[in-house]
Amino acid sequence: MAHIWRTLSFFVFLLPAVHVQDNKYLTAIIGETVQILCSLNTTESLKTENISVEWATSEGLIIHSFVKGVDNLSNQAPQFEGRTQLFRHELSRGNFSLRLSNVSVADEGEFVCSYYDGVPTNGSRVLHHQYLHVESDNCLTAIIGETVQIPCTLNTEESLKTENISVEWATSEGLIIHSFVKGVDNLSNQAPQFEGRPQLFRHELSRGNFSLRLSNVSVTDVGKFVCSYYDEVSTTGSRVLSMQCLQVADHYSDPVCEPTSPAKFTCTSTGGFPKPKVHWSVNKELLKDSSQVDTTLSTDSRGRYSVTSILTMNVTGKISVSFTIENKSLRETRTSPETEHLVTIKKPSYNYTGLVIGLSVLGIVLFIALTVKARVTIWRRMMMMKKKKNVTQFVQKEDNDHQVPLKQGPNAEQWESETLVVNAKEEG
């Protein structure tokens, strides 16, 4: 029991070390040259003819062999031919770094540097192992909300005992996705965004299949997933077995288009990821000029995009349009049905608007002026009426051409308004 506890605590102690080591994996770009470090801690200068160094992959393919001061490339794996080199002037200082040129996707994996000091009993010893990650666009694509399986395998001939297996899945930023320590899930360090979603395949573990199943994929899962194996025999801690890039996507709905004003078409498509590429076709010809297009994006609660694109036409006539949305990561293109509409463009009317407003204001001013005048007239008449008893006579005298018989009005209101009309005629 005490023994188990000791090994367990030894192991747990090793776990955080992974994230401190920032050269855990080296990243290279296809076609470039990369330098993979390896050095022997030695104070004395080594004699070149005594140095034997071997660079190999974790699968045992020989990358570069240097035997007793001489390159021996007879065993070199063909894919490394002509691409490897040691630094001759550095060897005596114990610097056995490897230069690898024209990096290819197939180079991804672990590079192991071993030193053989020529003493038969000493054999060779592993000085360093380095995971090389090659940037490429062969990302796994997962659909939002669905489950993805991320591969990771340890090449092993013998069957592993589950209680001896320790595997850690983490992001390249160091967030722990899933920790499996000596046959038991240990989720105490799991990053919250992965809670309840990852799972290993229990029955596959003994075969060295440490693939991860991640359910309910979300847009925040985009990144690199690193699978590390803790080999308790070796004292070098963890070994990166794989690094897999994950991108997420979702399908845009078939775009729907409709005319939304005499000269506008509006198309919408929803629920896609990542941001789309959109284009319009007008009368079956690709619209190259984007100045007539206004496209807006919005996101839903799961980070998926909805697209609304408005096309404003500046020509009249029967026009047929279609709208295409392209999902770059799914290599998926969706096009709306052709939508036909008779586009009519109203002449700009703002010049007349000013005139109409001006005339209206003038009208109102006149109206007010006339009303005031009318009231004054009425008031005057009222005064007159008080002086003269014969009202009809007065009206005939003053306004005889209008023939407004005051007595006919049923009330004063009507009389006033009639007077107003008459006066307005006079003024106009």
Ligand X SMILES: *[C@@H]1O[C@H](CO)[C@@H](O)[C@H](O)[C@H]1NC(C)=O
Site of interaction with ligand X (CB under 6 A): 12, 15, 37, 39, 41, 47, 49-50, 67, 72, 74-75, 87, 90, 95, 97, 102, 104, 117-119, 122, 141, 153, 161, 163-164, 181, 186, 188-189, 201, 204, 209, 211, 216, 218, 232-233, 249, 274, 276-277, 289, 291-292, 302, 314-315, 326-332
Please say which residue, 176 or 420, places its beta carbon nearer to ligand X.
176
* Residue 302, Cβ density class (10 Å: 0-12 exposed, 13-18 middle, ≥19 buried): middle
Distance, C-alpha 132 to centroid of its chain: 27
Please say which residue, 102 or 138, places its beta carbon nearer to ligand X.
102
* Minimum gap (Å) between residue 337 Cβ and ligand X: 20
Pairing of strands 140-143, 238-249: parallel
Please say which residue, 330 or 385, places its beta carbon nearer to ligand X.
330
* Residue 71, Cβ density class (10 Å: 0-12 exposed, 13-18 middle, ≥19 buried): middle
* Minimum gap (Å) between residue 273 Cβ and ligand X: 7
Residue carrying the six token digits 């990053």: 191
* Minimum gap (Å) between residue 92 Cβ and ligand X: 11
Please say which residue, 90 or 426, places its beta carbon nearer to ligand X.
90
* Minimum gap (Å) between residue 416 Cβ and ligand X: 56
* Minimum gap (Å) between residue 182 Cβ and ligand X: 8
Please say which residue, 255 or 276, places its beta carbon nearer to ligand X.
276
State the Cα angle at 26 between 20 and 30, rounded to 5°.
160
Peptide bond into 276 cis (omega under 30): no
Distance, C-alpha 160 to centroid of its chain: 40
Please say which residue, 69 or 409, places its beta carbon nearer to ligand X.
69
* Minimum gap (Å) between residue 31 Cβ and ligand X: 6
Please say which residue, 144 or 226, places its beta carbon nearer to ligand X.
144
* Minimum gap (Å) between residue 39 Cβ and ligand X: 4
* Residue 355, amino acid: L
Greatest extent of the chain over all pairs of C-alpha atoms, in Å: 149
Please say which residue, 71 or 418, places its beta carbon nearer to ligand X.
71
Rg of the chain over Cα atoms, rounded to whole angstroms, equals 44
Q: Which residue's C-beta sits nearest to ligand X?
A: 330
- In this structure, what token pair is assigned to residue 40? 């022997």
* Minimum gap (Å) between residue 149 Cβ and ligand X: 6
CA distances from 229 to 2, 86, 148, 189, 203 (A): 24, 29, 21, 17, 17
CA distance 399 to 239: 114
- What is the residue-wise DSSP string for 170-223? EETT--EEEEEETTEE--TT--GGGTT-EEE-GGGGGGTB--EEE-S--GGG-E
* Minimum gap (Å) between residue 239 Cβ and ligand X: 14
Residue carrying the six token digits 């107003």: 420
Helix residue ranges, H only, 317-411:
350-387, 391-399
Please say which residue, 96 or 131, places its beta carbon nearer to ligand X.
96
Please say which residue, 91 or 226, places its beta carbon nearer to ligand X.
91
* Residue 352, Cβ density class (10 Å: 0-12 exposed, 13-18 middle, ≥19 buried): exposed
Pairing of strands 98-100, 34-36: antiparallel
CA distance 44 to 345: 88
* Minimum gap (Å) between residue 363 Cβ and ligand X: 37
